[in-house]
Amino acid sequence: MARVVLGVAGGIAAYKAAELLRLFTEAGHRVTVVPTAAALRFVGAATWEALSGHPVASDVWSQAHEVPHVRIGQQADLVVVAPATADLLARAAVGIADDLLTNTLLTARCPVLYAPAMHTEMWEHPATVANVATLRARGAVVLEPATGRLTGPDTGKGRLPDPAQIAAVATRLLPGGAAGDAQPAAGVDLAGRRVVVTAGGTREPLDPVRFLGNRSSGRQGYAFAQTAIARGAAVTLIAANVDLPAPVGAELVPVETTDELYRATLAAAAGADAVVMAAAPADFRPEAYASEKIKKDDGPPSLRLVPTVDVAAALGAARAAGELPAGQVLVVFAAETVTGPEAIENARAKLTRKGAHLVVLNQVGPDPASGRLRGFGQETNAATVLGADGATTVFPERSKEALADAVWDLVKPLLPPDPVAPPGGAVAAEPSG
């Protein structure tokens, strides 16, 4: 049983924190709710006490003999602030301690997770952007807010992520990590880093209803995004035709074709410390597009294919040309139907050809022994990771999330010493002493 502090700031989304509290308590955790005075104007103390089974206070004077402004943070295994308003993020970034929650944040030495909720203009304001960068640089996990209906008629980015998704990220930050993982969570060792992950399979249209595609489900790419978020990174997830819930905290960029994937990835990579190319881009596209549906009565069409842009190779070349950050780490995938030395040779050649640091070799297609489809669409994966330094690491079959964590472990020592500045020249603040 973990000791979780649920901080609730004063926003209309405070009512959703009640569902998050229920999820924590049903998972067996001991939850102490610390609302701000403003939060209690939205949801009263009686609600928090009934759901948590513990008394609730928002100021440092209640139960003063127990020194709650120090003890609550000291004893916590995890602090989650949901919703985290622009005001709360600002006070936390500066280090103001004017109520019980901000005191708790200063004394906590455990992982801290912020789930922001505010209007779009507030989230995009330079002050909030700087405050979020500061908190992330210190090791906090700050999720990206969701996009949707806000207060009143407004719609945009700033909506509190779904409580179940917040709980899933929080679970990974607790001692022991996600349920079912053999190894403990890696912590927030990617805090202050920006990463780009591609996922899914591109589609190259033949006519308005038909396309050339592949079997990629996007599960492995989404696992890379989810684990990077839980480890503290700011994640841009470029998803090609993926039918999965977007990972909470990721900036999602949907694409369809390989050319769209290329343009989106190149733009996002400009401010990234690492790029993981887990998507399966089409290698070819139809030379001609039929503007009307091809009729069966017209007979089989004559289909001529032309190569698509090699996205990973283009990224490697851009980095070599100085168009992308020099220290940026590039991870590519090699999906092979052949096995043994031939597969290793193919993957090693791809590593060199793409100018990558790591190549993740995984077997796809029917398993000759069981007939079960490997890789694409499955919950598990096995891989051999080859490094540009000649290293080879074999990962037996495991969950795709566990494999992603293992690859991030290999990426981390390759990252540049200092985080890459995001586009626009803003530099994340250094961790405070």
CB atoms inside a 10 Å sphere around CB 28 = 8
Percentage above 90 pLDDT, the chain = 63
φ, ψ for residue 106, nearest 5 deg:
-75, -30
Q: Are 137 and 428 in contact (CB under 8 A)?
A: yes
Give pLDDT, residue 182.
36
Euclidean distance between the first and the last CA atom of the chain, given in angstroms as a whole number: 31
pLDDT digits (tens, 9 = 90+) for 257-296: 999 999 999 999 998 999 999 999 999 999 999 999 999 8
pLDDT digits (tens, 9 = 90+) for 228-265: 988 888 899 999 999 998 888 888 999 999 999 999 99
Helices 163-173 and 17-26: crossing angle in degrees, nearest 10, is 50
Pairing of strands 274-277, 329-336: parallel
φ, ψ for residue 254, nearest 5 deg:
-80, 140
Q: Which two tokens stand for residue 181?
A: 């993982």
CATH topology identical between 3-173 and 194-414: yes
**pLDDT at position 383 over 80:** yes
**Which of 292, 245, 45, 41 is CA-nearest to residue 146?**
245
Residue boundaries of the structural domains of the chain = 3-173, 194-414
φ, ψ for residue 342, nearest 5 deg:
-65, -40
Pairing of strands 146-149, 78-84: unpaired
**pLDDT at position 126 over 50:** yes
**pLDDT at position 349 over 60:** yes
Alpha carbons 288 and 429: distance in angstroms, whole number: 50
Residue with tokens 């602090």: 79
Indicate the DSSP class of residue 344.
H
- 215 pLDDT band (50/70/90 cuts)? confident
Pairing of strands 365-366, 373-374: antiparallel
Judge whether 214 counts as a catalytic residue.
yes
Strands (E), 287-408: 305-307, 329-336, 358-363, 365-366, 373-374, 380-387, 392-399
What pTM was computed for the model? 0.78
CATH number (1.10.1060.10, 3.40.50.2300, 3.40.50.1950, 3.30.70.20) of 3-173 reads: 3.40.50.1950
Give pLDDT, residue 197.
98
Across all residues in the chain, what is the average pLDDT? 87
103, 214, 241, 381: the active-site residue: 214
**Residue 133: which H helix or E strand, with range?**
helix 126-137
Give pLDDT, residue 181.
42
Return the SS3 of 399.
strand
CB atoms inside a 10 Å sphere around CB 309 = 15
3-state helix, strand, coil in the chain (%, to 5): 35, 25, 40
Q: Give the fold, CATH level 3, of 194-414.
A: Rossmann fold (3.40.50)
**Residue 142: which H helix or E strand, with range?**
strand 141-142
Give pLDDT, residue 144.
86
Give pLDDT, residue 378.
80
